[in-house]
Amino acid sequence: MNHFQHIRQVDMMKRIGDGAILILFIMLILSKNNQ
């Protein structure tokens, strides 16, 4: 059960990481458009 919780935690971290990369990418595009 503890091992399963660890797998879920890693999956959550991956999703949060993907979201952060997506936000950074959008901010980069917006900053390029503003210039």
Question: Which pLDDT score, from 0 to 100, does residue 5 have?
Answer: 83
Average pLDDT, the chain: 90
State how far the Cα of 5 lies from the Cα of 30, in Å rounded to an integer: 38
Q: Is the pLDDT of residue 9 over 80?
A: yes
Of residues 20, 23, 24, the one with CA closest to residue 12:
20
pTM of the entire predicted model: 0.58
What are the Cα distances from residue 22, in Å, to 6, 17, 26, 29, 35? 24, 9, 6, 11, 20
Residue among 27, 8, 29 at smallest CA distance from 19: 27
- The predicted model gives 3-30 an average pLDDT of 93
Distance of CA 11 to the CA centre of its chain: 11
